Chain A
Amino acid sequence: MGSAHSVPAEMRELADRTGFTSEQIEHLHRRFKQLSQDQLTIRKENFDSIPDLEFNPIRGKIVHAFFDKRNLRQESDGLADEINFEDFLTIMSYFRPIEMNMDEEQLDRFRKEKLKFLFHMYDSDHDGKITLQEYRNVVEELLSGNPHLEKESARSIADGAMMEAASICVGQMGPDQVYEGITFEDFLKMWQGIDIETKMHVRFLNVDTIAHCY
């Protein structure tokens, strides 16, 4: 499907589905081919060739997200071994900036989609809940960039954050009640009032920028 994009109709369809302009799609396709070494699909190993990604502390999680079927198609679960260009575009489209002409409903959906992406990244065992253990892993990875920070402090930060989440989402709990993990609804609740749109977008340029890769 990826190579067939040159057919205008297909292109238009892709553009419609992902919201990119045809120029952007073209650029992304060029990048895709560069990454996949002219194959039709990308595998995880292909991401190793991006030098800048190496220093990203949550690199693993991000690359993982590209192959997470929950992000790719609705109603499916598990991990893909390889993704084609359309999938690649789908993932990229999570990071599109909001457009001026969006109405409230669209904005809301847009926002939810973006958050869902993040949620899936945290929820590594696909059970619809970010458990403490998962949260700890994420925080540990996030803070792994700082060599002076010990694992324990990362963990306690995660614990603190979890308690905070619990107090935000549930508020007062009975003594026997136990907060098991952050569900997506809770996750949304935590994000209330923060305009994520300004935080989770990349400006996809129409011009070619240097794309180095080896």
Chain B
Amino acid sequence: MALPAALGQRSSESHKNSNQSFAIVSFKWDHVKEPYIIALWILVASLAKIVFHLSHRVTRVVPESALLIVLGLFLGGIVWAADHLASFSLTPTVFFFYLLPPIVLDAGYFMPNRLFFGNLGSILLYAVIGTVWNAATTGLSLYGVYLTGIMGELHSGLLDFLLFGSLIAAVDPVAVLAVFEEVHVNEVLFIIVFGESLLNDAVTVVLYNVFDSFVAIGATNVTGIECLKGIVSFFVVSLGGTLVGIFFAFLLSLVSRFTKHVRIIEPGFVFIISYLSYLTAEMLSLSAILAITFCGICCQKYVKANISEQSSTTVKYTMKMLASGAETIIFMFLGISAVDPNIWTWNTAFILLTLVFISVYRVIGVIIQTWILNRYRTVQLEIIDQVVMSYGGLRGAVAFALVALLEEDKVKDRNLFVSTTIIVVFFTVIFQGLTIKPLVQWLKVKKTEHREPKLNEKLHGRAFDHILSAIEDISGQIGHHYLRDKWSNFDRKYLRKILMRRSAQKSRDQILNVFHELNLKDAISYVAEGERRGSLAFIRSPSTDNMVNVDFSTPLPSTVENSVSYLLREKAGPVCLDMQALEQRRKSIRDTEDTLAHHTLQQYLYKPRQEHKHLYSRHEIMHSEDDKQDKEIFHRTMRKRLESFKSTKLGINHSKKLNKIHKRDRGQKRRNSSVIPNGNIPSENPVQNFALKEKDLEFSESEENNDYETLHLGKGVDFLANVTKQNFTDAPAGIDNPVFSADDDQSIYMKFSPWLSSEDTVVPSQRARVQLPYSPDNFRRLTPIRLSNKSTDSFLLADGPEDRPRSFLPESTHM
């Protein structure tokens, strides 16, 4: 909207200056002033954040929010000193429309739902009753003290005090998040304080509006009916806000189901629709915070399942960035806003008493409510928890924005209220924020343990859920687990079918997710290790000393399963990477050759195609180029392979020869001998590059061979060898597990880039087949899942990845 105005301005300017000569460069500060200043402020705040974190000692003691407030004060002082004008302050519009939504959305979207709903009862009690209690007691007590005359002459009545009480009562989500994120108290405690701060918004809004209008119509006109209206409006505002949020969450989930072809704007939907929920609630004068919170809470499951992995990452980081940025700006501007002599009205008694009352009543409120709650809670809230909860009742920017909204002509003591609010906010954020960490440590509050997700834990957790709901069924009670069970059934039967993509419905299971996550982690650590070493040759190296053997050889009916179990057993090797062992192995591999081979590979591996990557497209990210290339490599490889199976002289020779070698090898393995002679390399190999590569492979292979022999997994190796042999001689009947062999060969050929050679294909050594250095399927957990019967056809696998759950794609192959 600034643009047309600017254009108009320019045209009039040019009109004026038409008789002057054309200015090549002109300085137009006014033209860019506003966005420029905003951008500068954001930059300053962000830079300040960098500076704070330069010194860990400071940030470990002082919370960032406190530092930002101090910085704001400082900057405000500079601006004030410069032109004696407090031109910048946190205006309610900016705060409520632009700064608050991202923070709350972030909170909702990443809300640990299970924890939240598990403690919903407690959260609601604290949020509703607690806030009303705080507002009423603070307001009334202040009024009571005022009547004694300590505060001197004020122009306020009871209603004004109650109005002030209601805006100062609410615990602030922004401040709580900022402080508690650094403290790491246990999750139950955190969710209760944080949930309270989010959900009390409805109460605050209603109380604020009610008292604001009461003040406007005058104390004498307030009737019982008005009060009743106020109570009704509380339910309307809170439930209405929640419903708006749920509605938009539904909409968002539904939209995200159909964004398959517009991946690039997929993350945008998440932000726009949730923002709309906020604005809609605001428009209907419902609780906007509740709306956007519940929008985030309800949609997260479906949206995360629907959107692609990349979009999900984008959403995550954008949301975090916006929230963190908004938070930074809020605290800095809180500081800046305080530097304005016009708003300051000092009244020692009022300010001090406010501080005392909000602290004392918070403590009393928490104790009473916890006492009630503990009679119903299974996990009791102990004294220590109560201390932290009372102490964590931070006030923040919401209170400030609300007080700034007050009108001077309606509320006579507005300036006093504003000053007091600022003091309260500063006190809670800076003083309590500073001391809460030592307090938590001193009280030895149970902290969160950051633990890796464990498959067993997830499985047992799932089992517990079912057991508990069954026990509730059997004992005939309708409890927490009963309700959750019913809800998840409902979710599975109806909601998911509507809101999730079909592909997502399949793969979406928490346990599977953890499984997938662990697999990914494994794969990443392997690849990273490989890159560190400069080669991926090590990967197939089950070093003997970090073995975990599970007996997978339980009698199973079919041969396929049998082979799977053997494979597993064989692959069970590298459960963890023992760096020392790897280092030892490294010594024995000739590094120079290694790198040389690597270099050659890099040179010949389809480099020319890479320039496509530099194409620019706004609508698509060109990451698919890699896939295409890989696919093409794969197809060529397969074609080549099939050709070589057709009885070219060479091929037959090779297979015979290799069979022989293979037998010998097996014998050798049994006899536990070590290095295999280089006889595996076909003598007619003309290209030196390949010889080099072969050598390299041989080296790593023989290395691995050692390990294999020590492993002494005779059967497993046997099986493998059989598969490869049969596969190589193209005897389809004998292929036990085509997936495996296909995979193997694929990667072998990729390594050998067969398209480079002419007719005389260099056939990789037998052992290269058996023990592939570069293959994703020796990742511990990836292995079994890729061996499922359904994935038999690896052609399909490469062609239609969309049909398969993402998690099973051998992504790690394409580096």
CA distance A50 to B478 in the complex (A): 13
Q: Does B476 contact A (CB under 8 A)?
A: yes
- Closest partner residue, chain A, to B711 (CB atom): A175
The secondary-structure label for the interface of chain B is helix
CA distance A112 to B378 in the complex (A): 19
Q: Mark B551-566, 1 if CB is under 8 A from A, else 0.
A: 1101000000000000
Q: Contact: A53 with B474, CB < 8 Å?
A: yes
- Closest partner residue, chain B, to A146 (CB atom): B509
* Selected contact of B551 from candidates A150, A178, A193, A213, CB within 8 Å: A178
- Min CB–CB distance B763 → chain A (angstroms): 31
- Closest partner residue, chain B, to A153 (CB atom): B785
Please name all residues of chain A whose beta carbon is closer than 8 Å to the beta carbon of B507 when the two chains form the complex: 148
Please name all residues of chain A whose beta carbon is closer than 8 Å to the beta carbon of B455 when the two chains form the complex: 157, 160-161, 164
Q: Contact: B710 with A203, CB < 8 Å?
A: no
* Selected contact of A199 from candidates B449, B461, B550, CB within 8 Å: B461
Stretch from A3-11, A74-82, A132-140 at the B interface: A132-140
Residue of B451, B472, B710 with most partner-chain A CB within 10 A: B472
* Selected contact of A178 from candidates B379, B486, B545, B550, CB within 8 Å: B550
- Closest partner residue, chain A, to B474 (CB atom): A50
Please name all residues of chain A whose beta carbon is closer than 8 Å to the beta carbon of B568 when the two chains form the complex: 159
* Selected contact of A142 from candidates B459, B473, B546, CB within 8 Å: B459
Please name all residues of chain B whose beta carbon is closer than 8 Å to the beta carbon of A175 when the two chains form the complex: 544, 547, 549, 710-712
Interface residues on A, range: 35 or more
* Selected contact of A56 from candidates B469, B492, B545, CB within 8 Å: B469
Q: Contact: A160 with B784, CB < 8 Å?
A: yes
Q: Contact: B552 with A132, CB < 8 Å?
A: yes
Q: Contact: B550 with A163, CB < 8 Å?
A: yes
- Min CB–CB distance A28 → chain B (angstroms): 6
- Given A200-B464, A202-B472, CB of A209 within 8 Å of CB of B512: no
Q: Does B685 contact A (CB under 8 A)?
A: no
Q: Contact: A203 with B784, CB < 8 Å?
A: no
- Min CB–CB distance A3 → chain B (angstroms): 19
Q: Contact: B380 with A100, CB < 8 Å?
A: yes
Please name all residues of chain B whose beta carbon is closer than 8 Å to the beta carbon of A168 when the two chains form the complex: 456
- Min CB–CB distance A15 → chain B (angstroms): 16
Please name all residues of chain A whose beta carbon is closer than 8 Å to the beta carbon of B449 when the two chains form the complex: 193
- Closest partner residue, chain B, to A115 (CB atom): B460
Q: Mark A18-44, 1 if CB is under 8 A from B, else 0.
A: 000000000010010011000000000
Q: Contact: A142 with B466, CB < 8 Å?
A: yes
Q: Contact: B473 with A53, CB < 8 Å?
A: yes
Please name all residues of chain A whose beta carbon is closer than 8 Å to the beta carbon of B489 when the two chains form the complex: 55
- Closest partner residue, chain A, to B506 (CB atom): A148
- Tally B residues with Cβ within 8 Å of A: 70
Please name all residues of chain A whose beta carbon is closer than 8 Å to the beta carbon of B37 when the two chains form the complex: none
Chain A-chain B contacts (Cβ-Cβ < 8 Å), number: 195
Please name all residues of chain B whose beta carbon is closer than 8 Å to the beta carbon of A178 when the two chains form the complex: 549-551
CA distance A167 to B575 in the complex (A): 8
- Given A170-B548, A200-B464, CB of A156 within 8 Å of CB of B784: yes
- Min CB–CB distance B118 → chain A (angstroms): 9
Residue of A31, A34, A92, A172 with most partner-chain B CB within 10 A: A172
Please name all residues of chain B whose beta carbon is closer than 8 Å to the beta carbon of A59 when the two chains form the complex: 470
Q: Mark B473-484, 1 if CB is under 8 A from A, else 0.
A: 111111111100
Q: Does A179 contact B (CB under 8 A)?
A: yes
- Closest partner residue, chain A, to B446 (CB atom): A195
Q: Does A143 contact B (CB under 8 A)?
A: yes
CA distance A159 to B786 in the complex (A): 13
CA distance A160 to B477 in the complex (A): 36
From residue 168 to 191 of chain A, which have CB atoms closer than 8 A to chain B?
Answer: 168, 170-180, 190-191
Q: Contact: A209 with B477, CB < 8 Å?
A: yes
Q: Does A1 contact B (CB under 8 A)?
A: no
CA distance A55 to B507 in the complex (A): 21
Q: Contact: B476 with A149, CB < 8 Å?
A: no
Q: Contact: B780 with A160, CB < 8 Å?
A: yes
Please name all residues of chain B whose beta carbon is closer than 8 Å to the beta carbon of A199 when the two chains form the complex: 461, 464
Q: Does B515 contact A (CB under 8 A)?
A: yes
Q: Does A116 contact B (CB under 8 A)?
A: no
Q: Does B457 contact A (CB under 8 A)?
A: yes
Q: Does A131 contact B (CB under 8 A)?
A: yes
Q: Does A103 contact B (CB under 8 A)?
A: no
- Closest partner residue, chain A, to B785 (CB atom): A156
Q: Does A14 contact B (CB under 8 A)?
A: no
Q: Contact: A160 with B551, CB < 8 Å?
A: no
- Min CB–CB distance B22 → chain A (angstroms): 69
Q: Contact: B467 with A148, CB < 8 Å?
A: no
Please name all residues of chain A whose beta carbon is closer than 8 Å to the beta carbon of B457 when the two chains form the complex: 190, 194
Q: Does A166 contact B (CB under 8 A)?
A: yes
- Given A156-B785, A198-B379, CB of A179 within 8 Å of CB of B550: yes
Please name all residues of chain B whose beta carbon is closer than 8 Å to the beta carbon of A31 when the two chains form the complex: 474-476
Q: Contact: A179 with B466, CB < 8 Å?
A: no
- Min CB–CB distance B451 → chain A (angstroms): 7
Please name all residues of chain B whose beta carbon is closer than 8 Å to the beta carbon of A142 when the two chains form the complex: 459, 462-463, 466, 511
Given pairs A62-B471, A167-B548, 12 additional interface contacts (CB within 8 A): A35-B474, A56-B470, A58-B466, A62-B470, A97-B378, A118-B460, A131-B554, A142-B462, A152-B787, A152-B789, A159-B568, A198-B379
9 A-B pairs with CB atoms under 8 Å apart are A31-B474, A53-B473, A58-B463, A92-B471, A118-B464, A121-B463, A157-B785, A202-B471, A202-B477
Which 7 pairs show the lowest CB-CB distances between chains A and B? A211-B476, A156-B784, A152-B788, A148-B506, A178-B551, A161-B455, A52-B473
Residue positions of A touching B, CB distance < 8 A: 28, 31, 34-35, 47, 50, 52-53, 55-59, 62, 92, 95, 97, 100, 118, 121, 131-133, 138-139, 142-143, 145-146, 148-150, 152-153, 155-157, 159-168, 170-180, 190-191, 193-194, 198-205, 209-213
Residue positions of B touching A, CB distance < 8 A: 378-380, 449, 451, 454-457, 459-464, 466-482, 485-486, 489, 492, 505-507, 509, 511-512, 515, 518, 544-552, 554, 568, 572, 575-576, 710-712, 780-781, 783-785, 787-790
